[in-house]
Amino acid sequence: MTTYAALLRGINVGGNRKLPMADLRALLDTLGHTGVRTHLQSGQAVFTTDRGDEESLAGELARAIEDRFGFPVDVLVRDHAYLAEVVRACPFPAAELAARQLHVTYFSAPVTPDRYAHLDQVALLPEEFRLGDRCLYLYAPDGLGRSKLAEALGRPRAAKDLVATSRNWNTVVKLAELTAPEA
């Protein structure tokens, strides 16, 4: 049995695409998963299963959400080993930063630096980003809402042909904790 985190993109934001977490938990239960729980209202669920892989589990959940709630949702599914490695590999001093300053964007596939070659990183300082394994770490000292770099990174050219969803550092760490094997 493996414990996974499901990351849903763009739900419960600004009153749009409402998906109550109790309904998400019930849906995951009906799909045959165990140990189902959610974290916050912004589209994180944790579940345990012995079938499938990340991609097939994400596809199954995305289809079930659209069938049940009537709108499409991009879904990524990641296991504990991956989530813990994202925390461990953070290139920024996470312990010294406020959670609102550090974000991780998870991608559906590996991303190469050439995807962001068009960005003038010097002009965007003090904001910075670094690529990781199917993720991007973003340091935005004034927070994501004021970040010019986050805006540039989110443009269609930068995320073309990918599912991408971002979480603040507190959520990144919490998901690694919630998916950890029980001692």
- pLDDT tens digit string along 89-101? 999 998 888 888 9
Cα-Cα-Cα-Cα dihedral sign, residues 153, 172, 111, 1: negative
Question: Does CATH number 3.30.70.1280 belong to domain 2-82?
Answer: yes
Query: What is the pTM (predicted TM-score) of this model?
Result: 0.93
> How many CB atoms lie under 10 A from the CB of residue 69?
17
How is domain 91-178 classified at the CATH fold level?
Alpha-Beta Plaits (3.30.70)
What is the rounded distance in angstroms from the CA atom of residue 157 to the CA atom of residue 138?
Answer: 18
Q: Are 106 and 164 in contact (CB under 8 A)?
A: yes
Comparing CA positions, the residue from 178, 166, 173 lying closest to residue 85 is 173
Query: Using one digit for the tens of pLDDT, what is the confidence trace for 41-93?
Result: 888 999 999 988 999 999 999 999 999 999 999 999 999 999 999 999 999 99
**Which token pair is 156?**
């269609």
Kindly report, as residue ranges, where domains of CATH 3.30.70.1280 are found in the chain.
2-82
